Amino acid sequence: MLVNLALVVITALFINWCFEKVKIPGLLGMIILGIVFGPNCLGWISVDLLHLSAELRTAALIVILIRAGLGLKRETLNEVGFSALKMSCIPCLIEGFTITLVAKFMLALSWPAAGMLGFIIAAVSPAVVVPQMLDIKTRGYGKNREVPTLILAGASIDDVFAITMFGVFLAAGTGAAVNIAMQFVKVPIGIVLGIGVGLLVGWLLVKFFNRFEMRATKKAIIFMIAAILLHKIEYFKDYVPIASLLGIMAMGFVMLELNNRVANELAQKFNKVWILAEILLFVLIGAQVNIHVAWHAGLIGIAVIAIGLAGRSLGVWLALLGSRLNAKERLFCCFSYFPKATVQAAIGAIPLSMGVKGGEVILAVAVLSIILTAPAGAGLIRATHTRLLEKNSD
């Protein structure tokens, strides 16, 4: 497996360099490499590596969220807080219900199955969006009105609403008893608990690092372990709903607030870790894609996804009413909310595995959404941010 991993990493680095040379986002090349090398095409990625795929992708996502949290300042959050909250739910709900309505008639699905598809597709991908926003933020674009921070904060909560709604429709489609009101109550509880637990863990780490002097590398290892354990709490969501992704960002936020020096040390370490994590994340996301399944979705599947994106864009525009953003910045936010990948790969096959009628169609459209929107969304972000966002003169 190690030799296979080395070959994948070397090839990915070369593909990334080639794409960057011709002004195309390198992550597109890595996703394509994963599709081509994956089990549904050439099969050149070892089975052992694929068995670890979910864990490695989770670890890479945790690295992204730590980096995002270590760059969040209180004054920035105060500025974008209400808009970020609206961005976390309005676009997701409008896209989800739009696809539900369209899929019911265009794909001849039952209402529960159409709802499952709607909210599988409605989840934006933090794995694609957040690293793009961090890069744009680092280079000073959109800083005047904190556009990248607004997007990465909203994208990190978006999945909570999508997965909750998917669970409601899945229960309805499989005949399981579910308290719908309780499912909706869990959403704000999960957000509050996630932030609260993250702040507590971050505060404890600040106290620990202040008391015990150690190398920055050891601090980064301890911080990563704490973030992994916090993420694992999410597996008990049936009992205690906790939005662990928000909690991980909150850990970085409180570290930056209470110990700027250590936060900067950690940020430098995790920026270096991201070089490998990025390769594993996007190559393994590509390896999850089954182009043969996506092919069966056909033109109708493409139309359903396109209509859903139109609904999402309308939702973004509505969420930003009353904000300080101008028309160009709002358009950039619409493009930034296009990419799908993480949730679609994780739960797209669940309806089929549970015997839901139309599960094959749901999986096909979910896979197609990754193939179409992850590259297109990332490409639009990279191609338009210099035109649509102002660059900070500093």
pLDDT (0 to 100) of residue 393:
63
Give 84-94 pLDDT, tens digit per residue. Answer: 888 888 999 99
Task: Indicate the pLDDT class of residue 352, thresholds 50, 70 and 90.
Answer: confident
CATH class, range 29-388: mainly alpha
At 205 the pLDDT is: 93
- How would residue 42 be classed by pLDDT, with cut points 50, 70 and 90? confident
Is residue 167 pLDDT above 90, yes or no?
no
What local confidence, expressed as pLDDT, does residue 18 receive? 87
pLDDT score at 382:
86
DSSP state for residue 235 in the 8-state scheme: G
pLDDT of residue 177: 54
Q: Which of 52, 65, 4 is nearest to 243 (CA)?
A: 65
335 pLDDT higher than 90: yes
Q: Is the pLDDT of residue 374 over 80?
A: yes
Report for 44-53, 254-263, 337-346: range of highest mean pLDDT? 254-263
Lowest mean pLDDT among 5-14, 211-220, 338-347: 338-347
**What pTM value is reported for the model?**
0.75
State pLDDT tens for residues 115-164: 999 999 998 888 788 888 888 888 888 877 788 888 887 887 777 778 77
